[in-house]
Amino acid sequence: MHLLAHPRIQEGRPVNFQILGKIDIPKLYKHITPERHRQILIVTNEALVREVLFATSKRAGRHIGTSLCIVDLKGFG
């Protein structure tokens, strides 16, 4: 199945790709704390609701309250 041809995506929902297996957590935590990382994840998810879904709804001319999240865990350990 071709992802962009899926009926739900054609309804105008935004697609969020997360490639978690590419994150080098030990290297990341040399630069930020685990708490700061959690804060960034929370702010990012809040922005999805506050900004992305709002803009998507405005562009579609109707309310869009959901998104599709695709998580790639290849290499995640």
Q: What long-range pairs does 47-54 form, CB within 8 A, spacing at least 24?
A: 48/14, 48/16, 52/14, 53/14
Least confident of 7-16, 22-31, 40-49: 7-16
Provide mean pLDDT across the span 13-32. Answer: 88
Give tens-digit pLDDT for 1-17.
Answer: 345 545 556 578 888 88
> Encoding tokens for residue 74?
């290849």
Q: What is the mean pLDDT of the chain?
A: 83
Over 60: is that where the pLDDT of 60 sits? Answer: yes
Which pLDDT belongs to residue 34?
94
pTM of the model: 0.62
Largest CA distance in the chain: 44
